[in-house]
A and B are shown apart, each in its own frame.
Chain A
Amino acid sequence: DAGVIQSPRHEVTEMGQEVTLRCKPISGHNSLFWYRQTMMRGLELLIYFNNNVPIDDSGMPEDRFSAKMPNASFSTLKIQPSEPRDSAVYFCASGDTGTVDGYTFGSGTRLTVV
């Protein structure tokens, strides 16, 4: 298996622009998580899906952030409009809630908003 695949690896954008981060989870996993990592706040859970349905989005910082999971093999995290304080590494992780087996993380997207 290729693991959790995130794209792009790096994104530099100007303030006010829309940014879309993409994630392909491991086939067969039924849960998907979006995390944000910064020096100041560490790893924060933004939102997670179970069987493509958003379960907990309490970590989404503002309405500028939205996430979708249209099918079991694809998810997006969108920021519109982006701001410099959104600069961070965004990780996607997937897992199987039936096994409580921990999660597999993608390599992350490093977002820089200038």
Chain B
Amino acid sequence: AQSVTQPDIHITVSEGASLELRCNYSYGATPYLFWYVQSPGQGLQLLLKYFSGDTLVQGIKGFEAEFKRSQSSFNLRKPSVHWSDAAEYFCAVGVMEYGNKLVFGAGTILRVKS
């Protein structure tokens, strides 16, 4: 079955430091992969997506993610974190045989220290 694992429940980084959030997926076919961000009390906002082609994808707010098929990973990165990046981040895989149903990971809560 399709699944997404985000191994880190919480991560704390200092403002200005680099960030990497881990995501591993399990899916038999070519995956469609997404990262969403959720600020407190808000819905989920799409940060970036991967369908095919270049394995390094750029998203909004200065985020990028790299797809590594050999490692079944789609890690999210940002070179310099801002305090406003504090939120919960969700990785998701699109399941094509169910009309692009999204299966989400458990999320990683990012805290930013000033």
Chain A residues within 8 Å of B, Cβ to Cβ = 4, 31, 33, 42-43, 45, 48, 50, 55-56, 91, 93, 95, 97, 100-108
Contact = CB atoms under 8 A, between A and B. Distances in A.
A70 B106 CA distance: 32
Contact of A43 (B46, B99, B104): B104
Contacts of B102: 33, 45, 93, 102-103
B44 to A, nearest CB: 4
Interface in B67-107: 90, 94, 96, 98-107
Contact of A105 (B45, B96, B101): B45
Chain B, interface SS category: strand
A42 B99 contact: no
A45 B83 CA distance: 31
Contacts of B90: 43
A107 B98 contact: no
A50 to B, nearest CB: 5
A108 B34 contact: no
A18 to B, nearest CB: 25
A7 B52 CA distance: 36
A102 B43 contact: no
